[in-house]
Amino acid sequence: MKYYRYVRWMFLALGLAAVIGLTVMNVYSLHALHENEVQNSVEKQKRQLLEYTNQVRSRFRYPVRSLWQLDMEELGASLVSPSDVSKDLLLIIDETIRDGLFSDIYLSTPDCTPCDRHGDPIWHYQKEIGKFATTTSYNRLVSDGLAITRTRMSALVQDYRWSTRVIFETHNSMTVTLINPDSREVVAYLLFVIDQDYLVTSYLGPKLAETFGTGEEAGIIVWLHDWTKNEVLATTAPEVTYSYQKVDFIQNFPDLLNNWNLKATFTANPAIAASRASLNRNLFVLGAAMLLLTGAFIFMFFTAQRERSLAQRQALFLANVTHELKTPLAVISAAGENLSDGRVTDPARLKSYGSHIFNESLRLRTMIDRLLDVARYNTKNIRIRKIQTSLPDFLRDYLKIKNSYLESYDVTVHLAADDSVPDIEADPSDLQSILDNLIDNAVKYSPDEKYVGIRIRNGGTYVELGIEDRGVGIPKELQKYIFEKFFRVEDALTAHTRGHGLGLSIVQDLAVRNDATVSVNSAPGKGSVFTIRFPKYETPETEHRAPIPTSNSRKEQEPEHVS
Ligand code: ADP
């Protein structure tokens, strides 16, 4: 049996450990899942940034893609004067200029060296007439673009693969070098002036919003940033001010728009927010389940402890009761035996035997009544009959009846009743039992000065009844147990005092039945005060007043105190 209990606890502990283990694993995997989701989302956004720059690149190349198909031999031959330019090239140029991305298109032959001050004439495309015309008034942007391309091309001369190449002068211009792969000679340079206004406001800006969404909720904020000027050209979230500290990732444009890049900060997007919310929900449920389980474990542990100590006390109680029942029974049977034998004939002795039998049977009856009382309170189905009661009047009448008992123990009683206290509503029989038990205890646990102070006070919404003694008092740490069934303070005095630890538990049951509360204030060696608070009587419909207890009525009612 003993081992069985240990095994039960062991399995419970194992079960709890398993639940804790599973919970920890769950929390870990949920967290890992969430982290993974965050990581995936960030990776996806990085890929989108790269894709964005690639798309921009092909957007620049798209209008000039047909240049690759031109016959360079033929084209070279046609580039004698602006009016001779081959029709095929003019067609491509015309189509390109219609795209808002480029504002002007210039053509320079390899033998001409443009420069802003002393430049050779170059050809400028006149979109109105669809032809090239010679010009010397071109700005620095054009000459720089062409100069850069020439320098780059001469540097690349060793390794370029003899095909048309595109070179960018940052965000200002794009130059296409047309190369004749057979003769390995440059045929012409075509410079496209980039319309920056169109590029930023009509293309890159709207494309940012279209690709990444707008606002912080999109999960990413992207700034198109001119890092040479530290200037934001376009953004997906204008309400968020750019700062370098916010940047999580930088994406450059591949060999174009060199002064510009994309700077991004990753915020929680709806999918991540949902994943976090689900993580939090799961953690909450797990936490609650864990708490419940731990609570249940602790509850079971303490309930089992309590039940064990209750069972121990009940066993002790049974032993005591049996002993106390046997004592008067032994006296009765011995006296009865003597009488039945006819050995006692002396009238005085006969009378003494008779009174012994009578007194012991009374004792037996009282004891049985008390036991029945306990059983009755335990079943909790006694009917309650609450009536309007004046506590001071009730107490005065009660003390009259109790007088002989109190005198027999030489008890000093002091009643301090405030007669203006409102009436209460209580069952008179319950009230009597409460008083009996408390006063009995006050007498029992006062070995030296037997004093009972009774105070009735108006507490506003309640009426307070205090029973004070100057007895041994109760240690603070045990005060919470004294209202439990069968609990007795283990000391020398209690050991020699009759009682079974039921009186105060009955007092509390009765108080609760009458909507009252009981509390104790006590210190060892300084006596105790038991306080009962009754709610004041509210609805004056009832006509009855509490019957004044009489010695007979006490007998008629159910027995009321058990100690
Ligand atoms: P019993 O008196 O039969 O032991 P009770 O339920 O009436 O049982 O009281 C429980 C315990 O509380 C008592 O055993 C006693 O130790 C302590 N106690 C109760 N009333 C007093 C009191 N007025 N002064 C000191 N100790 C008390």
Dump pLDDT digits (tens) for 465-492: 999 999 999 999 999 999 987 788 888 7
Task: Quickly count: other Cβ atoms within 10 Å of residue 333's Cβ.
Answer: 12
Which regions of 22-121 does DSSP assign to beta strands (E)?
Answer: 102-108
441 vs 369, 417, 451, 492, CA distance in Å?
Answer: 19, 21, 11, 16
Phi, psi of 103 (to 5 degrees): -95, -35
Query: In this structure, which residue's CA is closest to atom 11 in ligand 1?
Result: 488
The residues near 504 (Cβ < 8 Å, ≥ 6 apart) are 437, 441, 482, 483, 518
Residue 399's pLDDT is what?
94
Q: Which of 541, 545, 499, 489 is nearest to 520 (CA)?
A: 489
- pTM tops 0.85: no
Closest atom of ligand 1 to 489 CA is 16
Q: Which two tokens stand for residue 122?
A: 């170059």
Which residue type is seen at 390? S
Distance 560 CA to ligand 1 centre (A): 16
Q: Quick one: which atom of ligand 1 is closest to the CA of 446? A: 24
- Kindly report the CA angle at 488 between 485 and 493, in degrees rounded to 5? 155
Which ligand 1 atom is the nearest neighbour of the CA of 530? Answer: 23
Q: Rg for the chain (alpha carbons), in Å? A: 53
**Partner residues linked to 520 by β-bridges:** 530
Give the Å distance between the CA of 139 and the centre of ligand 1: 110
Ligand 1 binding pocket includes 442 (Cβ within 6 Å): yes
Ligand 1 atom closest to Cα of residue 437: 7
Cα-to-chain-centroid distance, residue 492: 51
User: What are the tens digits of pLDDT across the range 263-304?
Assistant: 999 887 777 777 778 888 888 888 888 888 878 878 887 888
Instruction: Write down the H helix ranges in 342-427.
Output: 347-379, 391-408
Phi and psi, residue 403, nearest 5°? -55, -45
Q: Report the C-alpha gap between 468 and 471 in whole angstroms.
A: 9
Q: Check if 499 has its Cβ closer than 6 Å to any atom of ligand 1.
A: yes
- Position 155 scores a pLDDT of 67
Cα angle: 331, vertex 332, 336; to 5 degrees:
120
CB 508 less than 6 A from any atom of ligand 1: no
Q: Ligand 1 pocket test: which of 490, 504, 508, 522 has the largest number of ligand atoms within 8 Å of its C-beta?
A: 504
Residues 422 and 458 sit within 8 Å (Cβ to Cβ) = yes
Mean pLDDT of successive 10-residue stretches along the chain, which has 563 residues = 68 78 84 84 90 90 80 84 87 87 88 68 88 84 82 66 67 84 82 90 92 84 91 91 91 87 84 78 84 83 82 76 79 87 86 86 75 65 82 95 88 92 91 91 93 94 95 94 87 78 86 93 95 86 48 37 41
Q: Are 215 and 237 in contact (CB under 8 A)?
A: yes
> ∠166-170-175 over CA atoms, to 5°?
30
* Three-class SS state of 258: coil
Q: In this structure, what DSSP letter does residue 79 have? A: T
Residue 144's pLDDT is what?
Answer: 82
pLDDT of residue 472: 94
Domains in the chain (CATH in brackets) are 64-194 (3.30.450), 299-376 (1.10.287.130), 383-535 (3.30.565.10)
| Cβ of 500 less than 6 Å from ligand 1 | yes
- Residue 563 alpha carbon, nearest atom of ligand 1: 3
Of 507, 441, 436, 439, which is closest to residue 473 (Cα–Cα)? 441
Q: Which residue, by CA, sits nearest to atom 4 of ligand 1?
A: 501
Q: Is the dihedral of CA 232, 235, 238, 241 positive or negative?
A: negative
Distance CA 73, CA 78 (A): 9
Look up residue 491 and give its amino acid: D
Mutate to test the pocket of ligand 1, among 314, 434, 441 (most ligand atoms within 8 A of CB): 441
Residue minimizing CA distance to atom 25 of ligand 1: 473
pLDDT, one tens digit per residue, over 119-152 is: 778 889 998 888 998 888 887 788 888 888 877 7
Q: Residue 560 has what pLDDT?
A: 37
Which residue's CA is the nearest one to ligand 1's atom 12? 482
Answer whether 265 contacts ligand 1 (Cβ < 6 A): no
Looking at residue 162, its pLDDT comes to 56
Task: Please tell me the predicted confidence (pLDDT) of residue 554.
Answer: 38
